[in-house]
Each structure stands twice: as C-alpha cells, then as structure tokens.
C-alpha cells in the first residue's frame, strides 16, 4: 500500500510461510526473524518488520509527519497495532483461514476474539473524534492498522458494533493509489 | 532509563495494573488503551506506548540516529520487541511473578517459553557480529530490548545458552545514567 501510494517502483516476490519458505537458510540470511515482509534494497541490505519498512518508505513523505509529537503519536498506534491488535486479530485470521479445523491452535481463538474486540473498541472510540489515527491526515499509522482491520471478519470478528471503523476504512480506501491487501 | 540517561527532569507516578488503577475512568481518559507507561506532558497532552514514549524522548539525541536506514533498523528491533519478544518474555514474567500458581493463565507458559527462546536465539545470533541492536552505538532499540531481557529469568527463562546477550546486558548497564528497571 505504501509503495503504491508513493508510486515507488518495486518488484513483489511471493514467499509462502505455509510452505516453510521463510525458514530456509537463504531466507533466514535475509531476515533472521524468519518472517515476511522483508524489504530487499538490492545492495545486500535487507529490512524486516512491516512497521520499520513502511516508516523507511514514508520517511520524507506526507505519510510520516515532521513534527516530533506527531511522529510519536503515529508510532504509538503502530506499536499498539503490533503489540495488541496484530497478535489478536491477524493471528485469529491466520488460525481460521490457514490452519486445519482440528489444529490445536484453534483453542486460542476465544481469547484472541476477546482481546481483538478490546483493540477494536479502542479504535472505534478514537475515531469518534478523529478522522485518522496518528495525525489529522492519513499516515502510516492508518496503513498499519488498515491491513488487518479491514479483513478482521476473516478472523471471526463481527464488525457491526464499529461504524466509525467502517467509515475510516472507506476514507483510507479513498486515498490515491491505495489497494486492498493481497489475499 | 531514557529519562535518566538524558538527565531529563521528570516525576514518577506509580500506577498498579494489579490493583486495577489502569482501568479507572481517570486513567482511561489519559490512555484509552488502559496501559502503563503513559507520558504526561503537563499541558493536557499524554502519550502511551513505551516505544513511542522513548522515541519521543530520544528524538534529537544520540539515542535516535539521524540516518534514515539506521532509524528503520532501530524501529525494526523495537517492533520485534513489541510483537515477538514482549508478548512471550514479559508476559511469562507477569504470569509467574504476579498471578496465583493456580491461575488459568499459567497454562500459557509453555508456549510463551518456546516463543521467547526463539526471540532470544535471534538476539544471540545478532550479537555474535554486533555490539548493539539498531546501530553500532547504544540506541533506544537496546533500551527497548534490555527492559524485559535482563529480567527474563523471572519468567522462567534459562539464560545460560545466551552468552552474547549477557555481554550486551553488561554493555548497556555501562552506559551513563542507566538504571535497572523498577522491580
């Protein structure tokens, strides 16, 4: 989404975590954390962690504010996304969508739904008085939160209690160049 | 640690999560996420999320690099800390140290130990070739990772397989003004 919004040239390389392609020696040399996404610069440099990648790409553009306090507010929501939101909502989606119905991790779903709804309630409340998350404009905080929020239904989340989130999703999709996350 | 290292004036206010002090209306007005820490600026502004707080405090100091690539590397380790490390290592410590021995969350410990050791192994490998995490100097990436790594033993982690981490903990403690995390 950031690359498309900023109209930066890039090549997308599909890596399957399900098929173990993030655990090969070649991949671990690029990202010892064994996770996608990884940004490959082409000069032997790599950068892992989605939040760090989008901050790198957005640095110097309107998606990353210049004001020190606004930068911290953007990071606040990005850390919230990684520490509270992703571990509940993205993982619930992963379990329901990609694991067998009798996989032992299915037992984690009730707790992830409970924690995920708490995160969504915090977002809903924030959007009662604000159009976007980190600042009054769309920033990488919105992109970070958009990714798994707009597909939260896949994780079993009933989104009907969150009309402000629905409006915000529509606002993010209106940004130039924005695309829905790859399925 | 950042406030002490930078010799900034501050007042520490103790808030007990165990006694529910992060769920009061007064506290939720300061941080709707219901979590400590929160930085109170004194002008009606507040900032939650430890990573955002230390980035705000470090901005403009040697703890936050000026180079765009180095900033992203610092953030990479800080997001790793929040998404992988904290949810395993800090939570294991919380369960063992603050919950009753028959609390249902005790059943989460084996998975948290497994995931935490994977995070520690990634750190140990990085420190084989590097003195610090985000850059070649101590940065807020090191402070973010230091906090729960240096007390990982409280969570039941055997740290003997990680000699590089032990050396790095000693290096961080040698930084001027650094103090151990509050118990």
Find the residue in B nearest to A84 (Cα): B83
- Taking CB atoms and an 8 Å cutoff, what residues of chain B touch A79? 49-52, 78-79, 82
> Both tokens of residue B30?
């300061």
**Interior/surface letters B47-70, b for 16+ CB within 10 angstroms, e for the rest:** bbbbbbbbbbbbeeeebbbeeeeb
User: Do the bridges between strand A38-40 and strand A46-48 make them parallel or antiparallel, or are there none, so unpaired?
Assistant: antiparallel
Fold of B68-173: Glutathione S-transferase Yfyf (Class Pi); Chain A, domain 2 (1.20.1050)
A21-42 pLDDT per residue, tens: 999 999 999 999 999 999 999 8
Q: Which residue, among B72, B114, B127, would best test binding to A if mutated, counting the most A CBs under 10 Å from its CB?
A: B72
In angstroms, what separates the C-alpha of B49 from chain A's closest C-alpha?
5
Q: Give pLDDT, residue A20.
A: 93
- B8 interfaces chain A, CB cutoff of 8 Å: no
Radius of gyration of chain A from its Cα atoms, rounded to whole angstroms: 17
Q: Give pLDDT, residue B183.
A: 45
DSSP state of B48: E
In angstroms, what separates the C-alpha of A37 from chain B's closest C-alpha?
12
- SS3 of chain A: the string is CHHHHCCCCCCCCCCCCCCCCCCCHHHHHHCCCCCCCEEECCCCCEEECHHHHHHHHHCCCCCCCCCHHHHHHHHHHHHHHHHHHHHHHHHHHHHHHHCCCCCHHHHHHHHHHHHHHHHHHHHHHHHHHCCCCCCCCCCHHHHHHHHHHCCHHHHCCCCCCCHHHHHHHHHHHCCCCCCCCCC
> Both tokens of residue B95?
């369960």
Q: How far apart are CA A93 and CA A99, in angstroms?
A: 10
> Both tokens of residue A126?
């924030």
- Taking CB atoms and an 8 Å cutoff, what residues of chain B touch A82? 79, 82-83
Find the residue in A nearest to B32 (Cα): A122
A104-114 pLDDT per residue, tens: 889 889 999 99
Q: Which residue, among B33, B59, B105, would best test binding to A if mutated, counting the most A CBs under 10 Å from its CB?
A: B33
Beta strands of chain B (E only): which ranges?
Answer: 38-40, 46-48
- A40 interfaces chain B, CB cutoff of 8 Å: no
Average pLDDT over chain B, rounded to whole? 94
Please report, for chain B, the start and end positions of each structural domain, with discontinuous segments joined by +. 2-58, 68-173
- Taking CB atoms and an 8 Å cutoff, what residues of chain B touch A76? 47-49, 52
Q: What ipTM goes with this model? A: 0.93
- A164 interfaces chain B, CB cutoff of 8 Å: no
DSSP state of B87: I
Q: Omega before B37 cis (within 30°)?
A: yes
Note the CATH number of domain B2-58: 3.40.30.10
Contacts (Cβ under 8 Å, ≥6 apart) of A134: A65, A70, A73, A74, A75, A76, A77, A78, A140, A141, A142
Q: Give pLDDT, residue B179.
A: 61
Q: Give pLDDT, residue A183.
A: 44
Judge whether residue A181 has pLDDT over 80: no
Q: Do A96 and B96 form a contact (C-beta atoms < 8 A)?
A: no
Contacts (Cβ under 8 Å, ≥6 apart) of A133: A73, A74, A77, A123, A126, A139, A141, A142, A145
Among residues 102-131 of chain A, which lie with CB inside 8 Å of chain B? 122, 125-126
> Both tokens of residue B92?
């294991």
- B3 interfaces chain A, CB cutoff of 8 Å: no
Q: Give pLDDT, residue A71.
A: 97
DSSP state of B181: P
Q: Is A70 exposed, middle or buried (0-12, 13-18, 19+ CB in 10 A)?
A: middle
Half-sphere exposure of A72 (CA within 13 A, CB side): 22
DSSP state of B66: S
Q: Give pLDDT, residue A180.
A: 55
Q: Give pLDDT, residue B55.
A: 98
H or E stretch at B69: helix B68-80
Among residues 71-90 of chain B, which lie with CB inside 8 Å of chain A? 71-73, 75-76, 78-80, 82-84, 86-87
The whole-number average pLDDT for the span A130-143 is 96
- A37 interfaces chain B, CB cutoff of 8 Å: no
| Residue count of chain B | 183
Average pLDDT over chain A, rounded to whole? 94
8 Å CB contact of B33 and A84: yes
- Taking CB atoms and an 8 Å cutoff, what residues of chain A touch B75? 49, 51-52, 55, 75
With a cut of 50, which residues of chain B have pLDDT below it?
Answer: 183
Q: How far apart are CA A56 and CA A59, in angstroms?
A: 5
Q: Give pLDDT, residue A179.
A: 61
Q: Give pLDDT, residue A173.
A: 92
Q: What phi-psi label fits residue A34: left (phi over 0), alpha (psi between -120 and 50 degrees) or beta?
A: left
- Taking CB atoms and an 8 Å cutoff, what residues of chain B touch A42? none
């Amino acid at each position: 989404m950031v690359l498309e919004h900023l109209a930066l040239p890039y090549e997308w390389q599909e890596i399957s975590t399900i098929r173990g392609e993030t655990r090969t020696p070649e991949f671990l040399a690029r990202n010892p954390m064994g996770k996608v996404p990884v940004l490959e610069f082409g000069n032997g440099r790599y950068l892992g962690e989605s939040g760090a990648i989008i901050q790198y790409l957005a640095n110097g553009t309107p998606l990353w504010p210049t004001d020190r306090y606004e930068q911290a507010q953007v990071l606040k929501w990005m850390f919230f996304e990684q520490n509270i939101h992703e571990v509940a909502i993205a993982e619930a989606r992963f379990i329901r969508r990609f694991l067998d119905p009798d996989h032992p991790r299915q037992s984690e779903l009730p707790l992830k739904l409970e924690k995920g709804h708490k995160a969504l309630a915090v977002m809903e409340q924030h959007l009662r008085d604000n159009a976007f998350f980190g600042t009054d404009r769309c920033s990488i905080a919105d992109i970070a939160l958009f990714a798994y929020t707009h597909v939260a239904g896949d994780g079993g989340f009933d989104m009907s209690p969150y009309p402000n989130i629905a409006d915000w999703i529509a606002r993010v999709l209106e940004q130039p160049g924005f695309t829905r996350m790859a399925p």
